Structure 1
Amino acid sequence: MPKLTDTQTIVLSRAATRPGNLAMPLPEGLHGAAAQKAVTAMITRGWLEEVEANLRRGEPMWRETGDGHGTTLVVTEAGLQAIGIEPVVASTMTNLRNAKLELVTGPKDAPEASPSPATPKPVAIRAGTKQAEIIGLIQRPEGASIAEIVEATGWLAHSARGLISGGLKKKLNLPITSEKVKGRGTVYKIEAA
C-alpha cells in the first residue's frame, strides 16, 4: 500500500463512503493553494479523477470550466485500493459509478435528458463486509453457489439469496445471472461488462 499523507487519507476515506465516491467537499480547512496542491498530487497518482459535475443533482463543484459547466472530483479504483479497499470491491464501485453516470447522462451521442428522480443513488461498498465478500465470490469466473456463499459467510441460505436478490440485483443494480450447475446447484455470477 502506498504511503499516504493524513490529508490524502481523509479525502480518500470520506469519498469512499459517499454516493458516487465524490471527493467533494474537501475537508474543512483545506482550500486555496493547499487544496490545489493536494488534489493535483492525487490526480497525478491516479487516485482522483476530475469529472463533469451534475449540478442538477447538487454535486459540489471543484472548479468551473468557463463554459457554464463545472467539474467535481471522484475517487478512482486506484484511490480506493490506496486506502485498502479490496480490488474486487473497488472495481465494482467504479463500474457502478460509470453505469450510473451513463444512466444519468445517457450515451455520449444521445440528446441530453433530465435525470429521473427515481434514479437510485450509488451506494458505497465497504471493504471487509459480508456483502463485499459475496461480491468477490460471485465475480470469480466460476461464480459461487449458495452452498459456497453459506460456507464463506456463515449465513443461512435464505439470507444469502436475499442479499443477492434484494441488495445486489435490485439495490445496487448489479448484472447477476444464475444457472443450475450439476453437482453445485444454483451458481450466481456477475457478468463482465
Structure 2
Amino acid sequence: MPKLTDTQTIILSRAATRPGNLAMPLPDGLRGAAAKMAVTRMITNGWLEEVDADLRKGEPLWRETGDGHGTTLIATEIGLGAIGIEPVVAKAVTGPRKAKPKPDEEPTASEPAEVAKPITIRAGTKQAQIIALLQRPEGASITEIVEVTGWQAHSARGLISGGLKKKLGLPITSEKVDGRGTVYKLDAA
C-alpha cells in the first residue's frame, strides 16, 4: 500500500463516500498553491482524475477551462485501492466516467455514452466481504456466505441477485457443484 499523507487520505476517504467519487470540495484550509500541489501530485500518482464537471448537477469546479465549462476531480480505482477499497469494488464504484476527448481524439466504441449511476461501497462491510468471497477462484456457496456473515440464506441470495447483480451490475455467475450446491462466482474482468 502506498504511503499517503494525511491530506491525501482525507481527500480519498471523502471521495469514496460521495456520489461519483467526487474529490471536490477539498478539505477546509487547503487552498491556492498548496491545493494545486497536492492535487497535481495525486493526479501524477493516478489517485485522482480530472473530468468534465456536470454543472446541471451542481458539481463543484476544480478549474475553469475557459470555454464556459469546467473540470472537477474524481478518485480513481488506484486511489480507492490506496485507501484499502478492494479492486473489483473500486471498479464498480468508479464507473465509466471519463473526461471528454480532446478535439484531435476520436471517441472509441468502448467509451460509454452516458454516466453510470454512482455507487459507493465501504471497505469492511458485509457486502464487501461477500464480494471478496465471490472473487475467489472457487467462488462461494450460500452456506459459506451464511457462515461468514451470520445472515439467513434468503438474505444472502437477495444481496447477490438484487444488490450485486441488479443494483451494482456485477457479472456474477452461478453453477451447481456436487457437494457444495449452487456456487456463485464474480468474474474480475
Matched, 1:182 2:143: no
**CA RMSD of the aligned region, Å?**
2.7
Q: TM-score, normalised by structure 1?
A: 0.80
Bigger Cα displacement from structure 2, 130-139 vs 67-76: 67-76
Which segments of structure 1 move beyond 6 Å, counting only runs of 4 or more? none
What is the aligned partner in structure 1 of residue 22 from structure 2? 22
Q: 1:94 to 1:58 in 2, by over 3 A?
A: farther
What is the aligned partner in structure 1 of residue 160 from structure 2? 164
Q: CA deviation at 1:120?
A: 6.9
Q: CA deviation at 1:7?
A: 1.4
How far apart, CA to CA, are the structure 2 residues paired with 1:114 and 1:60? 22
Matched, 1:61 2:61: yes
Amino acid at match of 1:34: A
Q: TM-score, normalised by structure 2?
A: 0.82
Q: Which stretches in structure 2 are left out of the alignment for 5+ residues?
A: 101-106
| Deviation per residue, 1:164-190 (Å, 9 max, x gap) | 122212222222222222222111122
Number of aligned positions between the proteins: 181
Report if the CA contact (8 A) 1:122-1:172 is conserved: no
Report if the CA contact (8 A) 2:62-2:72 is conserved: yes
What is the aligned partner in structure 2 of residue 154 from structure 1? 150
Q: Which stretches in structure 1 are left out of the alignment for 5+ residues?
A: none
Report if the CA contact (8 A) 2:93-2:120 is conserved: no
Bigger Cα displacement from structure 2, 37-46 vs 139-148: 139-148
Matched, 1:133 2:143: no
Q: CA deviation at 1:149?
A: 1.1
Q: CA deviation at 1:35?
A: 0.8
Name whichever structure is richer in helix by fraction: 1
Q: 1:114 to 1:45 in 2, by over 3 A?
A: closer
Amino acid at match of 1:30: L
How far apart, CA to CA, are the structure 2 residues paired with 1:49 and 1:71? 10
Amino acid at match of 2:140: A
Percent identity, please. Answer: 73
- Give the alignment of 1:17-96 within 5 angstroms: 17-85=17-85, 89-96=86-93
